[in-house]
Amino acid sequence: MQTSVSTCDHPAPSRDQETRHILASAWWVLERSRFRSLKVRQVLAASSTSASNFYRRFPSKAHLLLALLEDEVQLVESQLRSRIDPDAPVAVQLEVWLRYNIGILFNQNRVQRTRLFLDQDLTELLPDQVAALCRIGDRHLAEIIRRGTSRGELADSDPHEAAMLVGNLVRGLITSGSSATTSDENDLVAQVLNFILRALGPA
Protein backbone atom coordinates (compact mmCIF):
# COMPACT_ATOMS: atom_id res chain seq x y z
CA MET A 1 0.00 0.00 0.00
CA GLN A 2 1.13 3.54 -0.77
CA THR A 3 1.93 5.52 2.33
CA SER A 4 4.71 8.04 1.85
CA VAL A 5 6.31 8.40 -1.56
CA SER A 6 9.60 10.14 -2.26
CA THR A 7 9.58 13.02 -4.69
CA CYS A 8 11.81 11.00 -7.00
CA ASP A 9 8.92 8.56 -7.46
CA HIS A 10 6.79 11.24 -9.10
CA PRO A 11 7.09 11.18 -12.89
CA ALA A 12 6.77 14.77 -14.07
CA PRO A 13 5.34 16.22 -17.28
CA SER A 14 7.66 18.38 -19.38
CA ARG A 15 8.73 21.23 -17.07
CA ASP A 16 11.71 23.55 -16.77
CA GLN A 17 14.30 22.89 -14.10
CA GLU A 18 13.12 25.63 -11.74
CA THR A 19 9.51 24.41 -11.90
CA ARG A 20 10.64 20.87 -11.13
CA HIS A 21 12.68 22.19 -8.19
CA ILE A 22 9.68 24.04 -6.75
CA LEU A 23 7.46 20.98 -7.12
CA ALA A 24 10.08 18.72 -5.51
CA SER A 25 10.22 21.17 -2.61
CA ALA A 26 6.42 21.15 -2.36
CA TRP A 27 6.39 17.35 -2.13
CA TRP A 28 9.06 17.56 0.58
CA VAL A 29 6.94 20.05 2.56
CA LEU A 30 3.90 17.81 2.21
CA GLU A 31 5.75 14.70 3.31
CA ARG A 32 7.18 16.53 6.32
CA SER A 33 3.65 17.59 7.33
CA ARG A 34 2.23 14.12 6.59
CA PHE A 35 0.07 15.78 3.91
CA ARG A 36 -1.87 17.78 6.48
CA SER A 37 -1.05 21.23 5.09
CA LEU A 38 0.65 23.07 2.27
CA LYS A 39 1.46 26.76 2.50
CA VAL A 40 3.13 28.75 -0.26
CA ARG A 41 5.52 30.41 2.21
CA GLN A 42 6.74 26.95 3.28
CA VAL A 43 7.39 26.02 -0.34
CA LEU A 44 9.22 29.31 -0.93
CA ALA A 45 11.46 28.64 2.07
CA ALA A 46 12.10 25.00 1.14
CA SER A 47 12.90 25.84 -2.49
CA SER A 48 14.84 29.05 -1.72
CA THR A 49 12.94 30.76 -4.51
CA SER A 50 11.43 34.23 -4.63
CA ALA A 51 7.71 34.89 -4.54
CA SER A 52 7.88 36.54 -7.98
CA ASN A 53 9.63 33.48 -9.43
CA PHE A 54 7.05 31.18 -7.82
CA TYR A 55 4.00 33.12 -9.00
CA ARG A 56 5.31 33.35 -12.57
CA ARG A 57 4.96 29.57 -12.66
CA PHE A 58 2.03 29.08 -10.30
CA PRO A 59 -0.40 32.02 -10.21
CA SER A 60 -2.01 30.64 -7.05
CA LYS A 61 -1.80 27.81 -4.54
CA ALA A 62 -4.53 26.09 -6.57
CA HIS A 63 -2.25 26.00 -9.61
CA LEU A 64 0.50 24.46 -7.49
CA LEU A 65 -1.94 21.81 -6.23
CA LEU A 66 -3.01 21.10 -9.81
CA ALA A 67 0.60 20.43 -10.84
CA LEU A 68 1.04 18.14 -7.83
CA LEU A 69 -2.21 16.37 -8.74
CA GLU A 70 -0.84 15.77 -12.25
CA ASP A 71 2.14 14.02 -10.65
CA GLU A 72 -0.14 12.03 -8.36
CA VAL A 73 -2.37 10.82 -11.21
CA GLN A 74 0.68 9.57 -13.10
CA LEU A 75 1.97 7.81 -9.99
CA VAL A 76 -1.37 6.08 -9.36
CA GLU A 77 -1.58 4.99 -13.00
CA SER A 78 1.91 3.47 -12.75
CA GLN A 79 1.15 1.66 -9.49
CA LEU A 80 -2.14 0.24 -10.77
CA ARG A 81 -0.52 -1.07 -13.95
CA SER A 82 2.05 -2.90 -11.84
CA ARG A 83 -0.68 -4.52 -9.73
CA ILE A 84 -3.32 -5.49 -12.31
CA ASP A 85 -2.84 -8.50 -14.57
CA PRO A 86 -4.76 -7.83 -17.81
CA ASP A 87 -5.04 -11.59 -18.43
CA ALA A 88 -6.77 -12.25 -15.10
CA PRO A 89 -10.57 -12.57 -14.90
CA VAL A 90 -12.15 -9.13 -15.06
CA ALA A 91 -13.75 -9.59 -11.63
CA VAL A 92 -10.25 -10.06 -10.21
CA GLN A 93 -8.95 -6.97 -12.02
CA LEU A 94 -11.87 -4.92 -10.68
CA GLU A 95 -11.22 -6.19 -7.17
CA VAL A 96 -7.55 -5.14 -7.34
CA TRP A 97 -8.57 -1.69 -8.62
CA LEU A 98 -11.16 -1.31 -5.86
CA ARG A 99 -8.83 -2.56 -3.14
CA TYR A 100 -6.18 -0.03 -4.15
CA ASN A 101 -8.65 2.87 -4.13
CA ILE A 102 -10.91 1.87 -1.25
CA GLY A 103 -7.78 1.12 0.77
CA ILE A 104 -7.35 4.89 1.02
CA LEU A 105 -10.20 4.98 3.54
CA PHE A 106 -8.39 2.58 5.84
CA ASN A 107 -4.95 4.20 5.76
CA GLN A 108 -4.63 7.56 7.49
CA ASN A 109 -1.58 8.66 5.50
CA ARG A 110 -3.31 7.92 2.20
CA VAL A 111 -6.51 9.64 3.34
CA GLN A 112 -4.60 12.82 4.15
CA ARG A 113 -2.71 12.61 0.88
CA THR A 114 -5.86 12.16 -1.19
CA ARG A 115 -7.93 14.82 0.56
CA LEU A 116 -5.21 17.34 -0.13
CA PHE A 117 -6.45 17.35 -3.73
CA LEU A 118 -10.05 17.93 -2.65
CA ASP A 119 -9.05 21.47 -1.64
CA GLN A 120 -12.02 23.80 -2.20
CA ASP A 121 -9.92 26.51 -3.85
CA LEU A 122 -8.55 23.98 -6.34
CA THR A 123 -11.93 22.48 -7.26
CA GLU A 124 -13.62 25.90 -7.52
CA LEU A 125 -10.88 27.78 -9.37
CA LEU A 126 -9.82 25.01 -11.78
CA PRO A 127 -12.83 22.66 -12.06
CA ASP A 128 -12.29 21.71 -15.72
CA GLN A 129 -8.64 20.85 -15.19
CA VAL A 130 -9.43 18.74 -12.12
CA ALA A 131 -12.23 16.95 -13.99
CA ALA A 132 -9.83 16.20 -16.86
CA LEU A 133 -7.33 14.65 -14.43
CA CYS A 134 -10.11 12.55 -12.88
CA ARG A 135 -10.92 11.25 -16.37
CA ILE A 136 -7.27 10.29 -16.79
CA GLY A 137 -7.48 8.51 -13.44
CA ASP A 138 -10.51 6.55 -14.66
CA ARG A 139 -8.76 5.51 -17.88
CA HIS A 140 -7.28 2.34 -16.41
CA LEU A 141 -10.68 1.31 -15.06
CA ALA A 142 -12.20 1.92 -18.51
CA GLU A 143 -9.60 -0.43 -20.00
CA ILE A 144 -10.59 -3.15 -17.53
CA ILE A 145 -14.27 -2.71 -18.39
CA ARG A 146 -13.49 -2.76 -22.12
CA ARG A 147 -11.60 -6.05 -21.70
CA GLY A 148 -14.53 -7.50 -19.77
CA THR A 149 -16.96 -6.48 -22.49
CA SER A 150 -14.82 -7.94 -25.28
CA ARG A 151 -14.56 -11.26 -23.40
CA GLY A 152 -18.27 -11.40 -22.65
CA GLU A 153 -17.61 -11.18 -18.90
CA LEU A 154 -19.44 -7.85 -18.71
CA ALA A 155 -22.48 -6.55 -20.57
CA ASP A 156 -21.88 -4.36 -23.58
CA SER A 157 -21.61 -0.75 -22.38
CA ASP A 158 -19.69 2.47 -22.86
CA PRO A 159 -16.50 1.74 -20.85
CA HIS A 160 -15.68 5.42 -20.32
CA GLU A 161 -19.14 6.23 -18.97
CA ALA A 162 -19.12 3.13 -16.76
CA ALA A 163 -15.64 3.97 -15.45
CA MET A 164 -16.73 7.54 -14.69
CA LEU A 165 -19.75 6.29 -12.71
CA VAL A 166 -17.69 3.78 -10.73
CA GLY A 167 -14.95 6.36 -10.20
CA ASN A 168 -17.48 8.88 -8.90
CA LEU A 169 -18.87 6.25 -6.53
CA VAL A 170 -15.46 5.51 -5.04
CA ARG A 171 -14.46 9.19 -4.93
CA GLY A 172 -17.72 9.90 -3.11
CA LEU A 173 -16.80 7.40 -0.41
CA ILE A 174 -13.38 8.97 -0.01
CA THR A 175 -14.69 12.55 -0.02
CA SER A 176 -17.28 11.82 2.65
CA GLY A 177 -14.85 9.75 4.68
CA SER A 178 -17.55 7.12 4.88
CA SER A 179 -16.84 3.42 5.12
CA ALA A 180 -20.49 2.79 4.23
CA THR A 181 -22.03 0.00 6.27
CA THR A 182 -18.82 -1.60 7.50
CA SER A 183 -15.54 -0.72 9.13
CA ASP A 184 -13.84 -3.71 7.51
CA GLU A 185 -11.90 -3.08 4.32
CA ASN A 186 -12.50 -6.54 2.88
CA ASP A 187 -16.25 -6.28 3.47
CA LEU A 188 -16.45 -2.87 1.81
CA VAL A 189 -14.44 -4.02 -1.22
CA ALA A 190 -16.75 -7.05 -1.53
CA GLN A 191 -19.89 -4.91 -1.24
CA VAL A 192 -18.78 -2.44 -3.89
CA LEU A 193 -17.48 -5.19 -6.19
CA ASN A 194 -20.78 -7.07 -5.98
CA PHE A 195 -22.67 -3.86 -6.76
CA ILE A 196 -20.49 -3.16 -9.81
CA LEU A 197 -20.73 -6.71 -11.12
CA ARG A 198 -24.52 -6.61 -10.78
CA ALA A 199 -24.60 -3.31 -12.64
CA LEU A 200 -22.11 -4.27 -15.38
CA GLY A 201 -22.38 -8.04 -15.42
CA PRO A 202 -23.71 -10.02 -18.39
CA ALA A 203 -27.48 -9.88 -18.85
| pLDDT tens-digit map of 109-168 | 888 888 888 888 898 999 999 988 888 878 889 999 999 999 999 998 899 999 999 998
For residue 22, tell me if it sits in a domain.
no
* Model pLDDT, residue 8: 37
- Residue 34 pLDDT > 60, yes or no? yes
For residue 77, tell me if it sits in a domain.
yes
Distance between CA atoms of residues 58 and 51, nearest Å: 10
Count the alpha carbons within 13 Å of 20 in the hemisphere toward its beta carbon.
11
* Model pLDDT, residue 114: 85
CATH number at residue 153: 1.10.357.10
Identify whether the C-beta of residue 122 lies closer than 8 Å to the C-beta of residue 65: yes
For residue 91, tell me if it sits in a domain.
yes
For 181, the domain range is 60-200
For residue 37, tell me if it sits in a domain.
no
* Model pLDDT, residue 203: 58
Distance between CA atoms of residues 81 and 39, nearest Å: 32
Mean pLDDT of 185-197: 93
What own/partner pairs with CB < 8 Å and gap ≥ 24 does 32-39 have? 34/4, 34/109, 34/112, 35/109, 35/112, 35/113, 35/116, 36/112, 38/64, 38/65, 38/116
Count up the domains in the chain and report the number: 1
For residue 154, tell me if it sits in a domain.
yes
pLDDT, tens digit (0-9, with 9 covering 90-100), for 93-116: 999 999 999 998 888 888 888 888
- Tell which phi-psi region holds residue 180, choosing left (phi > 0), alpha (psi between -120 and 50) or beta: left
Phi/psi of residue 124, each to 5°? -85, -40
SS3 readout for 18-59: HHHHHHHHHHHHHHHCCCCCCCHHHHHHHHCCCHHHHHHHCC
User: Mean pLDDT over all residues of the chain?
Assistant: 87
For residue 180, tell me if it sits in a domain.
yes
pTM: 0.80
Identify whether the C-beta of residue 186 lies closer than 8 Å to the C-beta of residue 102: no
For residue 18, tell me if it sits in a domain.
no
For residue 27, tell me if it sits in a domain.
no
At 5, is the pLDDT very low, low, confident or very high (cuts 50, 70, 90)? very low
